[in-house]
Structure formats: C-alpha cells, structure tokens
Structure 1
Amino acid sequence: MATFVPTTQERADILESLALVGPAKPVGYLPLPTVMKALRLTIPAVEQEYANGSRQVRVLGPEDCCIKGGAVYVFDQPALASLLSASSRLLTDLGWPTDSEAFIRRIAVEWLTDDHPLIGLVRQAFGDVRS
C-alpha cells in the first residue's frame, strides 16, 4: 500500500483546520494518523506551532475520541469560552459542559447528528456558518 505524501498545497489545506483557529473558528481538529503519518509532524511540533496565549492544544487518543486513531484539537480559549457562555443555558439544560476543556472532551467523544439540539453550536465552534 502506497503512503500518501501531500504536496505543499495539500499540506497547507490540511493544516488550515488548525491554522484558522481564532475568534471566527474557536475549534479545529485533525486525526492523529493524519498529523503523524501523512504530515509527519510530532505532537510537540504541533504544540509549538499552534499553542499560544489564547490557543491551546489537546491530544486525545482513540479511547477518548470518536475519531479513529484519536485526534489533536486546537481551540481558542477566549473565543470558545465566549461562545459557550452565550449558550450556557442550552448546554446546561442538555447536560453538556460549559467549560472549554470539558466541552472539547465531550465533542471528541460524541459525534452529533444533524438533528441534535447542539449541532448548530458545534458547527459554529468549528467555524462552519451554514445557514
């Protein structure tokens, strides 16, 4: 089986999920196999590139994540906290966490269907502004 080696443009397109994390896209993620095998990045390299004063990196293994092989999540703490605060009542009513770290862990383990009451909020967290 041939190993996928992304072109420079493909690499940039893949990493865009993490690179664009900020106020308009509070959360991004990539599957760990993509990060380590296809992009040939280490977790410390991802942390060095994407963690800063407001952005945090969390690595969740397959046992803590619904993404096969696990995933690395990057989130903008102030932007995500603001988004969760604005929806705190809905989150609380549905038994979901309003804390950024706990929210990341919850979205990592639970894949939401299109009819889930929080799908709009989760999409917004990922910068998906569908109408």
Structure 2
Amino acid sequence: MSENPFNDQSEGRYLNNLLDIGPDKPLGYLPLFTLRDLCMVDPIEVAEYLRQRGLETREWDQSFCHVGSGALYAYDRRSLQILLDRNLKVLNEAGWPNQADDFVVQVATTCVEQPHLFDLVILLIF
C-alpha cells in the first residue's frame, strides 16, 4: 500500500472523515464539493487510495444521496457489520437493513428520524 498522499495540513482536517475509517470509525463520507474545492483532491484518487487500504467506497451524485454536490462514502465492511450485528434490535425496529452494504445505501438515501437509530448512525459516522 502506498503512503497516504493526502496528509498535508491543509487537507488533513477535512479528509480525516475518510482517512480515519477503520475498526474504530467504520463509516464516513465527504461531499464531493469538499473534496474537490476545499481539499483540492480528486474523489476518484481518494477512493482508489481507500480501496488500497481494504475499504469499500461508493460515490453517488446528489440525486441519489441527498448531499448537494454528491458524496464519497467509505466504510470498513467487517467493522461496520460487527456494529450492525450488535445493534440488530434498533435496526429491526426502524425497518433498516442489517447488512453493511445495504446499510450504507440506506444512510446515504434516508433522513433518520427515530432517536435510537439516529444515535447509532451518528456513532458510526462521527
């Protein structure tokens, strides 16, 4: 795996939401606007770097994910699945998927309203 090409001070504070993904932070996203215009990086290059680290990535436009410029989502499938398995009751009560890939799609496309589910999503992303 190559060294992190995105770690200078001007980019790091924004990119950490993606670069810190792993067992302790299994899911993150950044708007494409943030990546292109604030971090001055190509979302495709960031996604490629994250995939080299063994993470899953999904890039969706605004019509799909409800983020104004679209967004790049990244997640550690194994770590996310462990947390989802620990929270099956909350997911089932909310009618949300309990498989990592489907859960990420749901997070990207749905506004969370139930308090316990909201707490779970916040725990996973931040």
- Can you list the C-alpha shifts for 1:9-68, whole angstroms capped at 9, x where unaligned? 231100111110001100111001111233232233012211136411110110111211
> Structure 1 segments of 4 or more deviating over 6 A?
none
**Aligned residues of 1:55 and 1:75 also touching (Cα < 8 A):** yes
Q: What's the CA shift for 1:89? A: 2.7
Q: Distance in 2 between matches of 1:118 and 1:54?
A: 27
Amino acid in structure 2 at the alignment position of 1:125: L
- Can you list the C-alpha shifts for 1:83-106, whole angstroms capped at 9, x where unaligned? 111112321221101111111111
Aligned length: 119
Residue 122 of structure 2 corresponds to: 123
Residue 64 of structure 2 corresponds to: 64
Residue 50 of structure 2 corresponds to: 50
| 2:45 counterpart of 1:30 | no
**Aligned residues of 2:58 and 2:72 also touching (Cα < 8 A):** yes
In structure 2, stretches of 5+ residues that fail to align are: 1-7
Identical residues among aligned pairs (%) = 27
Amino acid in structure 2 at the alignment position of 1:92: N
Q: Distance in 2 between matches of 1:108 and 1:63?
A: 11
Cα 1:52–1:83 shift into 2, 3 Å: farther
Query: RMSD across aligned C-alpha pairs, in angstroms?
Result: 1.7
Q: Distance in 2 between matches of 1:58 and 1:122?
A: 17
Greater helix fraction, Structure 1 or Structure 2:
2
TM-score (norm 1): 0.81
